[in-house]
Amino acid sequence: MNIAKIIAATALIAAAGSALAETPYPPQQAFTSTKTRAEVVAEVKQAGGDLGRRNYQDTFNPAPVVSNKTRADVLAELSQTRGDVARNNYINTTR
């Protein structure tokens, strides 16, 4: 008796699912723009240019870092912290 109910319920769910799958959601409508290409390009430039391209350039082509320290200064700093980067990071972030 229970198996018959399970099979009937499964068949009912499958039938309902297949019936609902035939109706597209959301209704498919063709997109029509009210702006010209020139207007869209002008809006993008006004908003700050092509932000995706700028983000890519900033991420993968960063400007070189300019330092005022000499090589000797950097080496002295490293020897002062004993070259233990993990310990130095811990000390500087827990103060």
pLDDT score recorded for residue 35: 93
Residues 6 or more apart whose Cβ sits within 8 Å of residue 50: 44
Q: What is the residue-level pLDDT of the chain in tens, covering all 95 positions?
A: 688 889 988 988 888 777 666 666 677 778 888 999 999 888 888 877 777 777 777 778 777 888 899 988 887 877 776 666 777 677 767 65
pLDDT score recorded for residue 83: 61
Whether residue 44 contacts residue 50, with contact meaning beta carbons closer than 8 Å, is answered with yes
- Print the domain residue range for 21: 2-93
- Domain total for the chain? 1
| Rounded Cα gap, residues 73 and 34, in angstroms | 61
| Rounded Cα gap, residues 66 and 28, in angstroms | 55
pLDDT score recorded for residue 39: 92
Reported pTM: 0.29
pLDDT score recorded for residue 36: 93
